Amino acid sequence: MSGLPHAPFHILLVEDDPADAGLAKRAIREGRILCDVHHAVDGVEALAYLRREGAHHAHARRPDLILLDLNMPRMDGRGVLAEVKKDPDLRGIPVVVLTTSDVQQDIEAIYQLGANSFVTKPLDLQDFFSVISGLENYWFNIVKLPK
């Protein structure tokens, strides 16, 4: 599905764990809403993609939604969030933090940094798929996204 040039929605998935990323991509693709996913393996790559830096990001599509892991090497999710939310060109893009953490302190800090929502990844596979489908339905069917 990612090969389709005109999927109506585009998601940037920022996740360092290959298994978690694979699962998220599968869940997104199995959803009823057609969207393509670009996967960045850490914060540095995510920002390069968003800012279209480097030859292979020159034609990067602006994502409608960013799904952002918190703990990653090189630059973590907090760093990405801080950069995105202070950049006038990127700030409008909704960022959903998707992490295994459910520490209340993390949650407060992440909203303070300007995250649009904080979602704790359920460990149960079925719950995880239903969370992803809930995300897709909310952001792509109910919400009006910035253009």
Partner 1 sequence: MREPTKTEDAAFEILLVEDDPADAGLAKRALKDGKIFCRVSHVRDGVEALAFLMREGSFADAPRPDLVLLDLNMPRLDGRGVLEAMKGNDELKSIPVVILTTSDVDRDVNASYLLGANSFITKPMDMDAFFEAIRSVEEYWFRVVRLPR
Q: List beta partners, residue 35.
A: 9
Cα–Cα distance between 139 and 49 in angstroms, integer? 21
Pick 18 or 134: Cβ nearer partner 1: 134
Chain residues 9-28 in contact with partner 1, contact rule CB under 8 A? none
**Residue count, binding to partner 1 (CB under 8 A):** 30
The verdict on 120 binding partner 1 (CB under 8 A) reads yes
Site string for partner 1, 62-101 (x = CB under 8 A): --------------------------x--xxxx-------
Pick 7 or 131: Cβ nearer partner 1: 131
The verdict on 135 binding partner 1 (CB under 8 A) reads yes
77, 51 contact by CB (below 8 A): no
CA triple 81-44-39, angle to 5 deg: 85
Least CB distance to partner 1 at residue 105 (A) = 10
